[in-house]
Amino acid sequence: QQQVKQSPQSLIVQKGGISIINCAYENTAFDYFPWYQQFPGKGPALLIAIRPDVSEKKEGRFTISFNKSAKQFSLHIMDSQPGDSATYFCAASIDDYYIQGAQKLVFGQGTRLTINP
Amino acid sequence: EAQVTQNPRYLITVTGKKLTVTCSQNMNHEYMSWYRQDPGLGLRQIYYSMNVEVTDKGDVPEGYKVSRKEKRNFPLILESPSPNQTSLYFCASSLWAGAGNTEAFFGQGTRLTVV
């Protein structure tokens, strides 16, 4: 129940195209869903995050779509650029200090995104 | 500059030889954790600490120890490393124990090889 399943494992997109990465979860107690971006040789860094009270959040070319009933959320990268080539991780957590096990991010398996010029 | 610093960045060791990976943050964060990253498995939490002297197991704690004697430091100890602990390790910190709603800052990673 603590798992977050991410797909695809790898993705190749042409420059200017739309990159889409999908995640699904089982634990309905999850209420915070961030995406992290990781460049080679670096640690992950927060890209964008969403809470289940909204269905979409957009920051620049990056959009999270959230479907609470389906327990799925996805990252869309519009006008994908070679500089977006990185590994992307979705994650989920429970935003409650007092719930056992809430004190951690549960990560998906990661997606290696390559944007061809 | 706000950062999480891990050392060493790369380490090759032999089975059974005790080692410590250090982690230090300069953001006065309460919450710190260790993850290991393996291909196809994503990031899995090893241990976490909600504050000084408060630590608890994550999802894959076997073979690891941690301590939190000071707020800024959270070392990861492998008492008797084995080849299945060959992995990329990350230390992370966030502002307070409600790790779900604050940004996690990651170190640069430590690539450990146990032969």
Q: Which of A9, A59, A97 to mutate to test the interface with B (most CBs of B within 10 A)?
A: A97
Residues of B whose CB is below 8 A from A40: none
Q: How far apart are CA A69 and CA B27, in angstroms?
A: 38
Instruction: Assess whether pLDDT exceeds 70 at residue A13.
Output: yes
State whether B97 and A89 contact (CB < 8 Å): no
Residues 6+ apart with CB under 8 A from B34: B23, B45, B46, B47, B48, B58, B64, B66, B74, B76, B89, B90, B91, B92
Q: Are B49 and B68 in contact (CB under 8 A)?
A: yes
Q: How far apart are CA B10 and CA B107, in angstroms?
A: 13
A107 CB near a chain B CB, below 8 Å? yes
Out of B33, B56, B107, the one facing A43 most closely (by C-beta) is: B107
Q: How far apart are CA A88 and CA A98, in angstroms?
A: 29
The pLDDT of residue B101: 58
Residues of A whose CB is below 8 A from B108: 41-43
**E-assigned strands of B1-115?**
4-7, 10-13, 19-25, 31-38, 42-51, 54-57, 65-66, 76-78, 87-94, 105-106, 110-114
Peptide bond between residue B61 and the one before it cis (omega within 30 degrees of 0) = no
- What DSSP element (H or E) covers B89? strand B87-94
Residues of A whose CB is below 8 A from B95: none
Q: How far apart are CA A61 and CA B13, in angstroms?
A: 43
CB interface of A with B, residues 44-83, below 8 Å: 44-46
At A93, the pLDDT band (50, 70, 90 cuts) reads confident
Residue A87 or A94, more confident: A87
Q: How far apart are CA A49 and CA A36, in angstroms?
A: 9
Work out the angle at residue A57's Cα, subtended by the Cα atoms of residues A54 and A58, and round it to the nearest 5 degrees. 160
Minimum CA–CA partner of A93 in chain B: B100
Out of B33, B90, B103, the one facing A104 most closely (by C-beta) is: B33
Arithmetic mean of pLDDT, A3-20: 97
A33 CB near a chain B CB, below 8 Å? no
- What DSSP element (H or E) covers A103? none
Query: Tell me: the pLDDT tens digits for A29-75?
Result: 888 899 999 999 999 999 999 988 899 999 999 999 999 999 999 99
- Residue B6: strand pairing partners: B23
Parallel, antiparallel or unpaired: strands A111-116 and A10-14 = parallel
Block means of pLDDT (10 residues each) for chain B, 115 residues, are: 94 97 95 93 92 90 96 97 98 73 88 97
The pLDDT of residue B96: 67
Q: Which of B43, B66, B111 to mutate to test the interface with A (most CBs of A within 10 A)?
A: B43
Residues of A whose CB is below 8 A from B105: 45
Q: How far apart are CA A61 and CA B24, in angstroms?
A: 33
Q: Are B15 and B81 in contact (CB under 8 A)?
A: yes
Question: A50 by DSSP, 3-state: which?
Answer: strand
